[in-house]
Chains A and B, each alone.
Chain A
């Protein structure tokens, strides 16, 4: 009982070493000299490895350099345990790793030892983690245990059954892994075959991974497995149900299951009515169970920042159209009514200077003015007035289009392609021009009024420019808000910053060593976020070649990244089927949102910053209230992966685009209005989702054979969508 409750405090620490665990042997020594606490763990591991291989001189040298002169001598028999112990001491809060020590009994030592010795490039940590599976029970009894529990759960009252059924999946996985770990291959196989049919359908993908895993050797280096082990599977169970379970297990003396529950599961107990099956189903599905309630308690400042006051000339003539890139307009004292939305500071907004934001340049102010002017001409959307949709079809892309982005003013379009190119199109009659070469620039009269016009090289005008530089498919593109830069992230592990003045690459940000799935500029420019296969999201500033923040915590690839409209938070969606919200200021994870049943491929914040929409491979759109950290809606309708989500400029309509060749429009206002978040719901996190997708669906628009991979609302609320025509 105590162990179950303690689990909560340990979890934070437990996640930290994750990225390190993934390093393979070749990179670990390179990282060792660093003095960060996480690295110490690695260092100790390296030391042990060297010692084991009788490389005494290296051990001494390394120890001298790392300043660990008085390392206590360890008995060779407990190397693995020592590694974990040292790690625990080093990081200070790795209580969980320390707890593992008790599991490493003398009997299991023989099983654990050969594993690290065999593969030189394997981390000792892995074997420590795995050794937790060394088992005491009889393998043949596992099926009996499991079916006994199954019988029990099926016999309890209906209200408890749904809750206790949550136990099936984690128990199944852990028992299977224990069997595999202890080389009971045939038992494992029959166990899997017997019970895998009972599991919820949304765990199919994980089960498939699991089914391939039949040998102990395979467990090393299998990331999915490590996820199961390093993160405790979180269950949310009412107190009554939990008591029932406990009593049952104690009566039956079912230690095997009890041990698993205590060590690998985190049971979040709440008082009150047990939840119904649908309530549980809506929240579960993630790789590591539901989010804990504590995870979502931090206050999130989801309000928008106050807009800088820019005086807008009153006359609404279209003079700006010509003046766009000329000198700043002279301001008239009168203010535009639209521009000054609310002078008062939003109580939920973060402080204006909570994170430093770049100063507004003159050109930015001009753009803001343009924006406000456009905003006055914006069409009010609603169920009665749906937006027109303009579809940009990429022809002859040969299935190579991987990413699309529009500028905010909808004048440029960028496409990332599988052939490593990034192409930029102008979608207005204005052609793309490069700046003249340095020699030519010298000849320009710098005093002239149209100097900005003169520096452009008319000879280079074209509708499309191709940017070469990546060496792998480009999976993410993002324009800077001022339209001067473009970011692209690629399979080659780099993020590149391109200038849209010279159409050349300015910087290649290296840090992710694995494919970078997505990147996005902050709405205020300067910062950008990226996330990829290495499960770490990074926050960068354009003028630093190293990341400012690393957001670690996801258990699988980060598939999409989005900035909150106030730039203080970053949302990341992952293949572990969770969404996390990170605080840019301190790098903390402030929200964990679970409920998706497939990898999340797109996220969208509502314009007021209060809500988040997410779309995944399961074809569902989920709506989240950021302030409460609650799921508040589910939009069903798509039949394939959703790759694009976008709120209209005023937040009335949510548009979703999918692989199933459709664009669907949803009534966002109604979706948010229908939800009443009372205190009880907010406190317990129990959601009742109204099943009203069909009523919220305002329109479905089919293309012939063009998956929709990007959506964008223009400033006047015209919906632009983009995709590559698929000839088959």
Chain B
């Protein structure tokens, strides 16, 4: 067979009839037979030569198909004018005709009506070249373009060879083949491995590993296949750990959620029904930790509230109405008289994070009522310590959030009596806060002028670090330990501000301008840099875990200014005041399931019923 082909190869020449036909088409009649033979041999040779060169160009063009331009370039090499405009939509543009004992292949040239061409609509502009990255082996072997591997495509030899050497690559390949048709959500083995590693690191005890895992979640572009798993992991995790009052794990899960939201390649919309209830649980749950009087579950509520605000901002649309529904949920339980202080705190935090408008319309009008309630606890006689702490936190939270808003909406002279009449019990304190907020705003403006801040991160956000294993290095940290990227300027350390009635704490104030760009990947994990910092604590007095607490003070308010102030507070929890009651069991009025159901039931309502929206 090969022999035959080779022989052909040697002798193939164009038939001399073609020469005749071509000559006739050029107007040369009666060509001698000898000339035809000579011509055909010459022409065949040149054509072969050009075809061989054309192959070379095809190889260098890294293609398997010969194109017309591949013919043009060899012609150019030989100083022959290329055949311009030789393009055909058909595979072979020749037509066949026979008659009169002659067989002809000819190039069909139709007459074209110009007006037809002009009147036809323009074809679509071809898409421009674009680049797409795919991780292959480790995580996304089964994604594009490695997706459609047909079983036959894998060579027998390589299967054998690899089967013997027992590398995992082959196992992967086979498994993938079997799983493919079943479901698009099947994960490859390495994806499963990755998922396992990541989730373990996220809730494990090693803070450095966690930081890495969170970074991976926040930046990896190939996670979308695992998103459903992550979302289930978070929602289930919250459900279980709320019942067990495992504060640490809840914080880890919220950080994971935060990382998921930070990943620009993930689309969380489809999984909000799982994620948001979990977040709401972490905000308003009656009890989040074993010792509500000691543990700093307030930080978790704050963090989750910010998360909620962020998701509202990102995902709220006119169809899903997330923001108005969330607002409604918070308001409803806040208005309820029987609500616990913890839940109350969560509701207020959740609402106030939604922005100054919400504070103005929903919180400030209720300040008087809330003041009465706080007064009752603070000055009442028979109250539990827990309630007192709760009221205390609610008070400071209200003061913190309302002060800046009031500072903006109220004209300048701040008279204590005026405040008392307007806001009741909280009036005087509010007044002093407003005054402070005003001066601070002025101070900040100066600061901005003074120092040159160059911010590269679009939106730095500080994540809460949990007590866990880093407790011993918490309290005495000097600000210099915090490894701030050059973009952040460390201002000063101060003793506890009056707004914080809790035991004395070191306070770091980290100033940062916020560009406010929506797409952000940058997470400053304060905790990780702290834990890896070589300087360790010298304080021995504190034996209980310390909880660095991150609070966000809206510096300028209303988002009009590019300034935001992060106040990093690290406060030791007071173990001295531990003679309080242990709230346990029983207090599951706001269990996650309950919250979920409320949210769900709300969802089932028609959008039209959402009459009031803060914005």
Interface residues of A (CB under 8 A from B): 24, 189, 192-193, 196-197, 207-209, 211-215, 217-218, 222, 317, 319, 322-323, 383, 386-403, 413, 415, 417-418, 423, 425, 427, 429, 450, 464, 472-473, 475, 491, 514-515, 517, 533, 557, 559, 575, 599, 601, 617, 637, 639, 641, 643, 659, 663, 694-695, 697-707, 709, 721, 724-725
User: Distance in Å from the Cβ of A466 to the closest Cβ of chain B?
Assistant: 9
A699 touches B128 (CB 8 A): no
Interface residues on B, range: 35 or more
User: Which partner residue on chain A sits nearest B67 by CB separation?
Assistant: A399
- Which of B148-156, B327-335, B434-442 lies at the interface? B148-156
Query: Is A196 within 8 A of B6, CB to CB?
Result: yes
Extra contacts, 7 of them, besides A399-B63, A599-B59, A697-B161 (Cβ < 8 A), are A192-B10, A322-B456, A383-B167, A391-B135, A395-B130, A402-B60, A694-B158
Of the candidates A215, A417, A418, A617, the one having the most CB atoms from chain B within 10 angstroms of its own CB is A418
Determine, out of B48-56, B93-101, B230-238, B585-593, the stretch whose residues face the partner at the interface. B48-56
Q: Which of B115-123, B138-146, B203-211 contacts A (4 or more CB under 8 A)?
A: B138-146
| Interface contact B167-A725, CB-CB below 8 Å | no
How far is A699 from B154 in the complex, measured between Cα atoms in Å? 12
Known: A213-B45, A390-B133, A413-B131. Contact between A706 and B158, CB under 8 A? no
Residues on A with C-beta less than 8 A from B79 are 24
Nearest to B190 among chain A residues (CB) is A388
Q: Cβ of B131 and Cβ of A394 under 8 Å apart?
A: yes
| CB nearest neighbor in B for A708 | B62
CA separation between A217 and B145, bound complex, in Å?
Answer: 51
B131: which A residues are within 8 A, CB to CB?
A: 392-395, 413, 425, 427, 464
The number of residue pairs between A and B whose CB atoms lie closer than 8 Å in the complex comes to 188
Q: Which residues of A contact B165 (CB under 8 A)?
A: 383, 695, 698
Per the 8 Å Cβ criterion, residues 9-68 of B in contact with A are 9-11, 41-42, 44-45, 48-49, 52, 56-57, 59-65, 67
Contacts of A707 in B (CB 8 A): 62
Chain A proximity mask over B222-266: 1 for CB below 8 Å, otherwise 0:
000000000000000000000000000000000000000000000
* Segment 403-452 of B: residues with Cβ below 8 Å from A: none
Contact of A390 with B145 in the complex, beta carbons under 8 Å = no
Asked whether any CB of chain A lies closer than 8 Å to the CB of B273, the reply is no
Min CB distance B374 to A, Å, is 46
A211 and B6 alpha carbons, distance in the complex (Å): 9
Q: Is the CB of A389 within 8 A of B169?
A: no
Closest to B160 in A: A694
CB-CB under 8 A for A391 and B133, given A189-B11, A699-B169, A704-B146:
yes
Interface of A is mostly: mixed
Among residues of A, the one whose C-beta sits closest to the C-beta of B168 is: A386
Q: Bound state CA distance, A209 and B45, in angstroms?
A: 10
Q: Which residue of B lies closest to A728 (CB)?
A: B65
**For the complex, what is the distance from the CA of A517 to the CA of B63, rounded to whole Å?**
15
* Complex interface: chain B residues within 8 A of A217 (CB): 42
Does A697 contact B133, Cβ atoms closer than 8 Å?
Answer: no
Can you report 30 A-B residue pairs in the complex whose CB atoms are below 8 A from each other? A189-B11, A192-B10, A207-B6, A209-B52, A212-B52, A213-B45, A383-B165, A388-B138, A389-B137, A391-B145, A392-B133, A393-B134, A394-B129, A399-B61, A427-B131, A427-B133, A473-B69, A473-B73, A491-B57, A557-B56, A659-B62, A697-B161, A698-B169, A699-B162, A699-B167, A700-B154, A700-B169, A707-B62, A709-B62, A725-B145
Q: Of all chain A residues, which has the CB nearest B69?
A: A418
How far apart are the CA atoms of A725 and B69 in the complex, in Å? 20
Contacts A218-B45, A396-B126, A707-B62 known; A472 to B73 CB distance under 8 Å? yes
Asked whether A390 lies within 8 Å of B136 as measured between CB atoms, the reply is yes
Residue of B nearest to A709 (CB): B62
| Contact A386:B137 (CB < 8 A) given known A209-B52, A694-B157 | yes
* Cross-chain contact of A702 among B7, B42, B149 (Cβ < 8 A): B149
Is there contact, CB below 8 Å, between A212 and B129?
A: no
Asked if B129 contacts A402 (CB within 8 A), the reply is no
Residues of B within 8 A of A475 (CB): 60-61
The verdict on A389 contacting B65 (CB below 8 Å), with A208-B52, A215-B41, A415-B129 known, is: no
- Distance in angstroms between the alpha carbons of A553 and B56 in the assembled complex: 20
Q: Which residue of A lies closest to B454 (CB)?
A: A450
Contacts of A197 in B (CB 8 A): 2-3, 6
The reply on B147 being an interface residue by CB < 8 A is yes
Q: Counting CB contacts under 8 A, is B132 at the interface?
A: yes
Question: What's the least CB distance linking B334 to chain A, in Å?
Answer: 41
Q: B169 touching A386 by the CB < 8 A rule?
A: yes
Q: Is the CB of B129 within 8 A of A423?
A: yes
Q: A124 to nearest B CB, angstroms?
A: 20
Q: Which of A208, A392, A533 contacts B9 (CB 8 A)?
A: A208
Q: Determine whether the beta carbon of B483 is less than 8 Å from that of A212.
A: no
Query: In the assembled complex, which residues on chain B have CB atoms less than 8 Å from the CB atom of A724?
Result: 62
State whether the Cβ of B577 lies closer than 8 Å to any Cβ in chain A: no
Most B CB contacts (10 A, CB to CB) among A208, A391, A464, A473 go to: A391
State in angstroms the CA–CA spacing of A302 and B92 once bound together.
Answer: 53
Cα distance A557–B74 when bound, in Å? 13
Q: B3 contacts which chain A residues (CB < 8 A)?
A: 197
B560 an interface residue at 8 Å Cβ cutoff? no
User: Residues of B contacting A390 with CB < 8 Å?
Assistant: 133-136
Q: Tell me the bound Cα distance from A450 to B486 in angstroms.
A: 13
Collect the chain B residues with CB atoms within 8 Å of residue A196's CB: 6, 10
Q: Enumerate chain B residues within 8 angstroms of A396, measured Cβ to Cβ.
A: 126-130
User: B77 at interface (Cβ–Cβ under 8 A)?
Assistant: yes
B485: CB under 8 A from chain A?
yes
By beta carbon, the residue of chain B nearest A383 is: B167
B521 at interface, CB cutoff 8 A: yes
B61 and A211 contact, CB distance less than 8 A: no
Interface digits, B472-496 against A, CB 8 Å rule (1 contact, 0 not)? Answer: 0000000000010111000000000
Residues of B within 8 A of A557 (CB): 56
**Binary interface profile of B, 529-542, with partner A (CB < 8 Å = 1, else 0)?**
00000000000000
CA distance A498 to B138 in the complex (A): 36
Q: Check A704–B148 contact: CB distance below 8 A.
A: yes
Q: Is A193 within 8 A of B10, CB to CB?
A: yes
A415 and chain B: residue at smallest CB distance:
B129
Instruction: Please tell me which one of the listed residues B45, B126, B130 contacts residue A394 in the complex, with CB atoms under 8 A apart.
Output: B130
Closest approach, in angstroms, between the C-beta of B184 and any C-beta of chain A?
Answer: 16
With A396-B130, A698-B169, A705-B145 known as contacts, the answer to whether A388 contacts B135 (CB < 8 A) is: yes
Please name all residues of chain A whose beta carbon is closer than 8 Å to the beta carbon of B128 when the two chains form the complex: 396
B145 and A643 form a contact (CB under 8 A): no
Contacts of A415 in B (CB 8 A): 129
Give min CB distance, A575 to chain B, whole Å: 7
| Chain B residue, CB-CB nearest to A721 | B136
A682 CB to closest chain B CB, in angstroms? 31
For chain B, residues 78 to 93, give those with C-beta under 8 angstroms from any C-beta of chain A. Answer: 79
Find out whether the CB atom of A402 lies under 8 angstroms from the CB atom of B153: no
Q: Are B146 and A701 in contact (CB under 8 A)?
A: yes
Q: Kindly identify which residue among B45, B77, B129 contacts A514, using a CB–CB cutoff of 8 Å.
A: B77
In-complex Cβ contact of B485 among A222, A322, A575 (8 A): A322
Complex: how many Å from CA A387 to CA B158? 19
Chain A residues contacting B64 (CB-CB under 8 Å) are: 659
- The contact of B60 among A392, A425, A559, A706, by CB within 8 Å, is A559
Asked whether A429 lies within 8 Å of B48 as measured between CB atoms, the reply is no
Interface core residue of A212, A417, A639 (most chain B CB under 10 Å): A212
Q: A393 and B132: CB pair below 8 A?
A: yes
With A383-B167, A514-B77, A706-B145: A395-B521 Cβ-Cβ less than 8 Å: no
Distance A218 CA – B52 CA, assembled complex (angstroms): 15
CA of A703 to CA of B132 in the docked complex: distance in angstroms? 13
Task: Determine if A402 and B62 form an interchain contact, defined as CB atoms under 8 angstroms apart.
Answer: yes
Please indicate the chain A residues that have their CB under 8 angstroms from the CB of B77 in the complex. 514-515, 533
B133:A617 contact, CB within 8 angstroms: no
Q: Which of B153-192 contact A (CB under 8 A)?
A: 153-155, 157-158, 160-162, 165, 167, 169
**Nearest A residue to B148, CB-CB:** A704
Bound Cα distance A400, B130 (Å) = 12
| In contact, B52 and A389 (Cβ under 8 angstroms) | no
Most chain B CB within a 10 A radius of its CB, from A559, A575, A702: A702
